[in-house]
Amino acid sequence: MQNTQNTQNKIPIDLHCHSDFSDGSYNVKDLLDLIVKHEGKHIALTDHDTVSGIESATTYAKSLNLNLIAGVEISVTWREHLIHIVGLNINYTNKLLNDELYKLRQARIERSKKIAERLESIGIKNSLAGAMNFCKNPENISRTHFMKFLIANNYASRNNAFDKYLAPGKIAYIKQQWATLEQSIYWIRQAGGVAVIAHPCRYKLNKNLLIELIKDFKQLGGMAIEVVTPNHSTNDANTIALIAKEYDLLASLGSDFHEYKPSQIITPGKNYPLPKICKPVYQSEYLNLIIS
């Protein structure tokens, strides 16, 4: 959402955040401290393809009087598109979920070797070791870590590392079969959670394809969609709110926080409220937050 409103209007709920267990820059403790500083109260840790941070986050959140919701953001391939499905309020000890996420992380390690080979082919040496230097959890290496390596070594700027090398169609983009949409929803549901389509406008799907994604998602047991996220303009949020109403999906909101820069509007812990027509996932039977 663009920063057109007074940040005082934000509500202290954030259902999408990353730590350095995936591609966030902050460790769990520093992330939660930052959330408290920004007056967040209800926070979901949703690292990519891992729940490794949830236990320590739960313990530390208790000491801060913060309501920590166990979450995950699963990488999915749907009709050749990389889609992210967030799971909220999961039992993070669920064996199926843990076993399957482990396989996704193994695939990340294999992919990282291929990314490095591609970069090597255009003269960019030692990128795997270089990316690993930015990766606190080596079993969960991400394109973000390659981006940090490329920037640090002047191969790219923060604005164009993906466009130059890492985005679909670029030299270091490796096509990957992640989880299927069906698997991601099944794992989340088996772990007692609710499945949410993350940042739907980021995939650049045309309207028909987005509706097909939503129909598949619903038919497979998905329940919610992100409406308010920094990935969306105000217009995007209003469009998705209308679609959510039409397809009877609950609405979610989150900062998709990865790193803090004082100049940026993205801070973890608080978000602009959902449009009035939305049914918030945080007030549904799946989450039922007590908002004080």
**Under 8 Å between Cβ of 282 and 259:** no
73-92: contacts with ligand AMP (CB under 6 A): 75
84 binds Mn ion (CB under 5 A): yes
Report the sign of the C-alpha dihedral through residues 188, 190, 192, 194, in that order. Answer: positive
Residue 236 contacts Mn ion per CB under 5 A: no
Using alpha carbons, list the distances in angstroms from residue 257 to 26, 65, 71, 151, 270.
10, 20, 14, 20, 11
Partner in contact with 19, chosen from ligand AMP, Mn ion, none, beta carbon below 5 to 8 Å by kind: none
Q: How far is the CB of 59 from ligand AMP (least distance, A)?
A: 26
Interface size with ligand AMP, residues (CB under 6 A): 8
Binds 143, which of ligand AMP, Mn ion, none (CB < 5 to 8 A, cut-off by type)? ligand AMP
Question: How far apart are CB 119 and ligand AMP at their closest, in Å?
Answer: 14
Partner interacting with residue 75 (select from Mn ion, ligand AMP, none; CB below 5-8 Å by kind): ligand AMP
What x/- string results for residues 139 through 178 when contact with ligand AMP is judged by CB under 6 A? ---xxx-----------------x----------------
30-46 as b/e: b if 16+ CB within 10 A: ebbebbbebebbbbbbb
- We find the least distance from the C-beta atom of residue 142 to ligand AMP, in angstroms, to be 3
When CB distances are held under 5 to 8 angstroms depending on the partner's kind, the choice from Mn ion, ligand AMP, none that residue 47 binds is none
| Nearer to ligand AMP (CB atom), residue 41 or residue 143 | 143
Residue partners of 13: CB distance under 8 A and separation at least 6: 40, 41, 42, 43, 253, 270, 271, 282, 289, 291
181/223 Cα distance (integer angstroms): 13
Among 48, 105, 189, 232, binds ligand AMP (CB under 6 A): 48
For residue 20, state whether it binds Mn ion (rule: CB under 5 A): no
Interacting residues with ligand AMP between 207 and 266 (CB under 6 A): 258
Q: Is 256 in the site for Mn ion (CB under 5 A)?
A: yes
- Compute the least distance from the CB of residue 287 to ligand AMP, in Å: 23
CA 135 to chain centre: 17
Assess 42 for contact with Mn ion (CB under 5 A): no
Give the binding-site size for Mn ion (rule: CB under 5 A): 5
User: Nearest 10 degrees: CA dihedral of 252, 205, 98, 25?
Assistant: -70
Residue 221 identity (one-letter amino acid): G
Residues 3 and 57 sit within 8 Å (Cβ to Cβ): no
The least distance separating ligand AMP from the CB of residue 18, rounded to whole angstroms, comes to 7
Query: For residue 47, which of 140, 175, 133, 186 has the smallest C-alpha distance?
Result: 140
How far from chain centre, in Å, is Cα 249?
19
Closest contact distance (angstroms) between CB of 276 and ligand AMP is 30
- Footprint of ligand AMP (CB under 6 A): 23, 48, 75, 142-144, 162, 258
- Footprint of Mn ion (CB under 5 A): 23, 73, 84, 198, 256
